[in-house]
């Protein structure tokens, strides 16, 4: 599990550790780890051209001390201060003593640039002086961010204006949510964690890794039959959108339940593609409702919500949901909106949701008493309490018509197979993103390609 912690939590843990260490020891730990990563990125340290972009805070000090270590190994290290009057004194003395230098402007050439302009406490975008230095980063240099890219909000991943786009981010003590959640995550590049000995409580966010997903996948036993494995009902499709029903069923058939029951007007299309589908209402262990329903189907959504089993609501099923009805359900509800649908559910604008995805997914979970899966470049899953789950898999090629229908069917099947709503949503998003990566391989893909690649994604987790 990759866990991420808020700035407030990290700062408190740092203060506790600093009180038990000699003065400056924690910064030296961070600088040593930072220098080691930088040295590994350079083909050779001796003779390498290294530029430090230095702000007035502690991560400017981290950059200076790391630069001093590289200078002692023969690198040519140049520091450029955002505010020379407020540069970290001890770090600057160490750099100059090691043979580095302080310059007024950013050199035209560099092998590696260390971004130490703004630390994890930065908010509201870069100041003009910092933005001007970022604009002058030499082309072709490897950019390494200290703790997180300057201009990224550590707690949310929000980016207000200019921000550093790093190739590698070296973060200290713990991941920060902004390193896992877009748009910040897309600015961070490869994230390397340096352990500096922090003692941390419950995380703000977490990302399942292969081992956790493998442990959660439903696996039939010798005594299993199709009903013990679970039956998922799918209410989807319309005369206008019959393909949504086919795609939702395709995901559901590959989601771990023993059988899929389809209810709706697209039965002929579903059976033509998947003759193993059961048609018509009957007992199910979970429902999926919404993909391709079109308008005027609110009564069908209400009927599904009245069944005391887990229900996943997607797409057209999300229209006009009553929070009181959902909070009063005796069984779990899982909502799977994209940003526009989430905005309608929250009474906000799409831009507001996109700019504050972490806040938005939590607000959905609390308002509707449900687990919320917010689709997007970083898919987030939240319950009313506890850490937000951040999905680490996927590809930009997932932005294709019908991919959400496959995800709904897959995740609903996991609900029917016995996973709770938070785990079903997290595992569904993980497998969906992994299948899309395999299906795309750098080329455009169709939603059906994602469904067809799901068995291969499962086989990665025996």
Q: Which CATH class is domain 2-205?
A: alpha beta
Check if the beta carbon of residue 380 is closer than 8 Å to that of residue 374.
yes
**Residue 377 counted as an annotated binding residue:** yes
**Residue 60 counted as an annotated binding residue:** yes
**Residue 237 counted as an annotated binding residue:** no
**Residue 391 counted as an annotated binding residue:** no
**Residue 423 counted as an annotated binding residue:** no
**Residue 59 counted as an annotated binding residue:** yes
The reported pTM is 0.90
**Residue 120 counted as an annotated binding residue:** yes
- pLDDT at residue 221, rounded to an integer: 78
Side-chain half-sphere CA neighbours of 146 within 13 A? 33
Residue holding tokens 């843990």?
13
**Residue 243 counted as an annotated binding residue:** no
**Residue 169 counted as an annotated binding residue:** no
What are the residue ranges spanned by the domains of the chain?
Answer: 2-205, 210-459
- pLDDT at residue 305, rounded to an integer: 98
Buried b / exposed e across 424-436, counting CB within 10 Å, b at 16+?
bbbbbbbbbbbbb
- pLDDT at residue 444, rounded to an integer: 87
**Residue 123 counted as an annotated binding residue:** yes
Residue holding tokens 């009902």?
233
Side-chain half-sphere CA neighbours of 408 within 13 A? 35
**Residue 181 counted as an annotated binding residue:** no
**Residue 176 counted as an annotated binding residue:** no
Interatomic CA distance for residues 31 and 68, integer angstroms: 9
**Residue 359 counted as an annotated binding residue:** no
CATH label, 210-459, candidates 3.40.190.10, 3.30.360.10, 3.40.1190.20, 3.10.20.30:
3.40.1190.20
- pLDDT at residue 461, rounded to an integer: 63
**Residue 125 counted as an annotated binding residue:** yes
**Residue 338 counted as an annotated binding residue:** yes
**Residue 105 counted as an annotated binding residue:** no
Check if the beta carbon of residue 242 is closer than 8 Å to that of residue 292.
yes
**Residue 86 counted as an annotated binding residue:** no
Q: Give the mean pLDDT per block of 10 residues along the chain (462 residues).
A: 95 95 95 97 96 94 98 98 94 98 96 95 85 95 97 91 95 96 92 96 94 92 78 97 97 94 97 97 96 95 98 97 97 98 97 89 98 95 95 91 97 97 98 93 89 91 57
Closest of 250, 317, 309, 254 to residue 281, by C-alpha: 309
**Residue 33 counted as an annotated binding residue:** no
**Residue 197 counted as an annotated binding residue:** no
Check if the beta carbon of residue 169 is closer than 8 Å to that of residue 59.
no
**Residue 182 counted as an annotated binding residue:** no
**Residue 173 counted as an annotated binding residue:** no
- pLDDT at residue 182, rounded to an integer: 86
């Amino acid at each position: 599990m990759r866990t991420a912690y808020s700035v407030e939590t990290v700062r408190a843990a740092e203060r506790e550790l600093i009180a038990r260490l000699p003065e400056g020891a924690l910064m030296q730990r961070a600088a040593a780890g930072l220098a080691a990563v930088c040295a590994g990125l350079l083909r050779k340290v001796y003779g390498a051209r290294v530029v430090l972009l230095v702000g007035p805070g502690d991560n400017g000090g981290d950059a200076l001390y790391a630069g001093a270590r590289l200078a002692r190994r023969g690198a040519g290290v140049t520091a450029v201060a955002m505010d020379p009057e407020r540069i970290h004194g001890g770090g600057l003395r160490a750099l100059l003593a090691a043979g580095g230098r302080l310059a007024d402007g950013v050199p035209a050439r560099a092998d590696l640039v260390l971004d130490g302009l703004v630390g994890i406490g930065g908010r509201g975008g870069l100041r003009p002086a910092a933005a001007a230095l970022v604009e002058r980063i030499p082309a072709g240099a490897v950019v390494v961010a200290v703790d997180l890219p300057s201009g990224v909000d550590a707690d949310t991943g929000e980016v207000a204006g200019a921000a550093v786009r790093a190739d590698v981010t070296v973060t200290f003590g713990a991941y920060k949510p902004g390193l896992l959640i877009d748009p910040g995550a897309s600015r961070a590049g490869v994230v390397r964690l340096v352990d500096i000995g922090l003692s941390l409580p419950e995380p703000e966010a977490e990302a399942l890794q292969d081992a956790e997903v493998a442990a959660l996948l439903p696996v039939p036993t010798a005594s299993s039959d199709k009903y013990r494995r679970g039956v998922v009902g799918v209410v989807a499709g319309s005369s206008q959108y019959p393909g949504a029903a086919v795609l939702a069923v395709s995901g559901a058939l590959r989601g771990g339940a023993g059988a899929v029951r389809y209810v709706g007007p697209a039965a002929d299309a579903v059976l033509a593609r998947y003759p193993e589908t059961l048609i018509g209402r009957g007992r199910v262990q979970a429902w999926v409702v919404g993909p391709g329903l079109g308008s005027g189907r609110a009564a069908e959504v209400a009927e599904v919500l009245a069944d005391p089993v887990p229900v996943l609501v997607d797409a057209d099923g999300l229209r006009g949901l009553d929070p009181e009805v959902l909070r009063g359900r005796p069984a779990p509800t899982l909502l799977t909106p994209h940003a526009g649908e989430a905005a309608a559910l929250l009474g906000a604008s799409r831009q507001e949701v996109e700019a504050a995805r972490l806040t938005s997914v939590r607000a959905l979970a609390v308002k509707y008493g449900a687990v919320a899966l917010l689709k997007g470049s970083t898919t987030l899953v939240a319950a009313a309490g506890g850490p937000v789950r951040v999905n680490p898999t996927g590809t930009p090629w997932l932005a294709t018509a019908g991919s959400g229908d496959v995800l709904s069917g897959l995740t609903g099947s996991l609900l029917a197979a016995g996973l709770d709503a938070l785990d079903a949503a997290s595992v569904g998003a993980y497998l969906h993103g992994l299948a899309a990566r395999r299906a795309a391989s750098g080329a455009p893909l169709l939603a059906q390609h994602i469904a067809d690649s799901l068995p291969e994604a499962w086989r990665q987790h025996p």
